Structure 1
């Protein structure tokens, strides 16, 4: 009997405990130290840091876009530069971009409830920056319903790049307008959350409008009417639509410089002990041919003989490492260095190109070109005497598109995606080439695009199939909408 009483008592206690747990289940299973919500400013900070860390590191920048653009070369573990890619890297980049954009949408939603129009505009600008990188990587991608989970959209349809670019331009114009009050003044500065401009809404407005210029000029060869109207609307009203016109306004993420917040190129070399990258022969030879004063800033001389020497992109074997120029101190030797999203010089290269087309910009093509080159040289610490000498010598304005594009390509160092896109749109520099060790045959230019993540075929096959079918040999196939080069494959 005693045994049965003990069993009965145990059952009563279990029943009591069970009923107690179920009546307060939510309370018991809520971690008081784990927040279930966060202010918009905190999420914005996360988005800026997460995207910059993820998209400008060796995996998503140095190994592939910067080598496809002709600026960097891998000198060890050369696989990526010869197009032997890792599927997880492709999937990760897709994930990084859409995760960031999804979180930015949360910031936009919260900014409305928190009555923070400045926060909304800033989040929208950065969302469009992320979408630009996305479509320029893959071409046709989910856009209009990509971030629509709250309405039950789990498998997003794909939009063509022909529709994405006009959509981005429209959203950026709305973002610019949201940062301006009805009386023409700017909305209030942010109190926190902004790791790029420290809450300066005017600088975000400049970034927004300069990004509009970038997108407009990128499609100038395929939708001249939209590009022209966008450029002229911005430049005709500098009070309402100011642009980044000085290096002090550059859209740079400046790193704190203490672990774990180290500049990604620095962290790769100095915390991982990697020595996988050097300057390409394309970039070094270009700078040497122009006696460009940026050469000693972009690169270290080779240890073996003190000469500046680039390496073959996607070579068949690694070089004697002592013979190759490494990346210069400004770009890789500073833990609290910078990651560039937009430079002032790019604004004026865009203006110069628009002026050459005869559009109303307020500048002659030559004046805008010289301003652009000057800003790039000044950004890199080149003195005024050397700037005057350069613009009067090997960089003297000759009115050609080739010169304009080549100087812009040089200025975009450390912006692998932008340098790659410029090359794909213009074919400059003409000295760029297909990796000699590539296993793919029949191609005469470096990659046109990325392969799609395998998960898009396995999980979203009905929506992705048409776009996936346009890819050939992983990196070629259908060109970007704005890539009007002929005879490339």
Structure 2
């Protein structure tokens, strides 16, 4: 068999010219300067699919969903991130990626390229899972058939969340079969085009089966019999269903950092706002406090120490407020009745703390352009456009081991919960380059205590920059037990995104039918059923997360 490898960067640049873009599901625009879609080779599509999908996951998992899950808070332009002040969130980018992926799949079938078909099935499953996890019911069966015409394709029905999960699991089963050969048995793999695994079908197969584990666990409360059978099937035949158990197989994408389009979000290299995108995103105190409680070494990797710590000293004269030796010394009367965090190392912003989060912790220069020396900034690595730790992390050995630990603890499968918990911790530390800290960490407060709460809290910590996964766990279990802040739009955390106005206006009948199937809750309030606090099928009747 012939394998194509290591082509020039010029070919990779050509990939970027081939994008289908859309505003909604009724439109398909083609770039007139791009490659003819009827003859394009899948290797000219795969990079765009993988890179755009990976960036989209980070944009959500390091964006507003990180705010929901209290990984981060913003101190400017913060209302959506901190307070869930949402109204019209679009899924157009996900469907754009899915259309490119669908075209890659169809061309792969025409050319008999099974590796590319397998990758397409994995990415289809991953993108539709994000859509249904975040919105609920959604166009699925007919969603990608707009070029075929007909009202059923141009205005597709919304398939049920249950049907979408079933389709996702079927796609991953198909991928497992398509990716089961040795690399030498596949035609025309272009290593450099695969920005996740470099054209390695074995790793893609593990990716597919690890996603199956994720989604079986996702439905485990709603449909425990299917989930239990599915997990047992995978774990009962490791030859037929290999999974990711080693960090070397993590599904990650590095950011090239050559320009704004392929650089880490919020970097200061290509930021036209003088670094404010970096400055406004801070650690949330919920995450900081949880990590400090277990002496977590990852905190130093993700955050900078406070530049100017605060000391409240009862021995100082009344009215004292001055910086001496890099420390702000304050008399108690100056801070009476005000929230002050005097931790000398790391300080986060509390969730939805107030109408002016930039003023937290006695910031002397509150406002959108402020520089708060009393709150931890993200680590300086997040100023950069690229770097060894700046990766889109799609699924990891850590997540897989946490899934297996929880499954064992909850009786969904055999195995030892503690063994998988400890393997998950080790994998996460290794992924962040601090595996040497494992022995000390696991011997301290993070030592296994046999509770679901601990497993899910550690999994939540490990989901840094991919908070969409911890949001899914929170909806399923109510863990970690996060509490909405005082300025939040509701008194509890949201459980979905709103269907966008454009979809409701154009695909009205189908969209309104999907809205009618949501379960309105006491927190939906003035939103009606299309609320971030209404429950989709997966949460209906579960009494979770609230």
- 1:110 maps to 2:107: yes
For 1:51, the equivalent position in structure 2 comes to: 53
Q: Per-residue CA shift, 1:136-161, capped at 9, x if unaligned? A: 11011111221122443111111121
Q: Which aligned pairs between 1:31-430 and structure 2 lie closer than 5 A?
A: 34-37=34-37, 38-57=40-59, 60-80=60-80, 81-85=82-86, 87=88, 90-91=89-90, 94-152=91-149, 153-181=153-181, 187=186, 190-192=189-191, 193-267=193-267, 271-272=271-272, 273=275, 274=277, 275-305=279-309, 306-316=344-354, 317=356, 318-319=358-359, 320=363, 321-330=372-381, 333=384, 335-336=386-387, 337-361=390-414, 363-384=415-436, 386-430=437-481
Coordinate RMSD, CA, aligned: 2.4
Q: In structure 2, which of residues 477, 483, 499 is the aligned counterpart of residue 433 of structure 1?
A: 483
TM-score under structure 2 length normalisation: 0.77
Alpha-carbon offset, residue 228 of structure 1: 1.4
| SS at structure 2 position matched to 1:388 | helix
CA distance in 2 between counterparts of 1:167 and 1:187 reads 26
Distance 1:393 1:34, change over 3 A: closer
For 2:535, the equivalent position in structure 1 comes to: 478
For 1:460, the equivalent position in structure 2 comes to: 507
CA distance in 1 between counterparts of 2:34 and 2:190 reads 24
CA distance in 1 between counterparts of 2:536 and 2:87 reads 22
Q: Per-residue CA shift, 1:461-480, capped at 9, x if unaligned? A: 10010223436333111246
Alpha-carbon offset, residue 263 of structure 1: 3.2
Q: Per-residue CA shift, 1:353-392, capped at 9, x if unaligned? A: 121233445x3111111111111112122243x3112212
Alpha-carbon offset, residue 398 of structure 1: 1.2
Q: Is the 8 A contact 1:40 1:107 kept in 2?
A: yes
Q: Per-residue CA shift, 1:139-191, capped at 9, x if unaligned? A: 1111122112244311111112122112211111111111125x999756822
| SS at structure 2 position matched to 1:278 | strand
CA distance in 2 between counterparts of 1:253 and 1:382 reads 20
Alpha-carbon offset, residue 415 of structure 1: 0.3
CA distance in 1 between counterparts of 2:407 and 2:78 reads 39
Q: Per-residue CA shift, 1:27-86, capped at 9, x if unaligned? A: xxxx996532321111121112223334423xx443411111111111112211212236
CA distance in 2 between counterparts of 1:381 and 1:32 reads 45
CA distance in 2 between counterparts of 1:324 and 1:82 reads 19
TM-score under structure 1 length normalisation: 0.85
Distance 1:243 1:401, change over 3 A: same
CA distance in 2 between counterparts of 1:477 and 1:383 reads 41
CA distance in 2 between counterparts of 1:409 and 1:34 reads 41
Q: Is the 8 A contact 1:56 1:264 kept in 2?
A: no
Distance 1:257 1:487, change over 3 A: closer
Alpha-carbon offset, residue 315 of structure 1: 2.7
Distance 1:149 1:287, change over 3 A: same
| SS at structure 1 position matched to 2:393 | strand
Q: Is the 8 A contact 1:445 1:488 kept in 2?
A: no
Structure 2 gaps of 5+ residues are 1-30, 310-343, 364-371
| SS at structure 2 position matched to 1:309 | coil
Distance 1:332 1:354, change over 3 A: farther
For 1:18, the equivalent position in structure 2 comes to: none
CA distance in 2 between counterparts of 1:83 and 1:269 reads 29
Range with greater deviation from structure 2 (290-299 or 33-42): 33-42
Q: Is the 8 A contact 2:49 2:101 kept in 1?
A: yes
| SS at structure 2 position matched to 1:264 | coil
CA distance in 1 between counterparts of 2:195 and 2:242 reads 21
Alpha-carbon offset, residue 488 of structure 1: 5.6
CA distance in 2 between counterparts of 1:186 and 1:368 reads 34
CA distance in 2 between counterparts of 1:185 and 1:34 reads 31
| SS at structure 1 position matched to 2:538 | coil
Query: Normalized per residue, which structure has more helix?
Result: 1
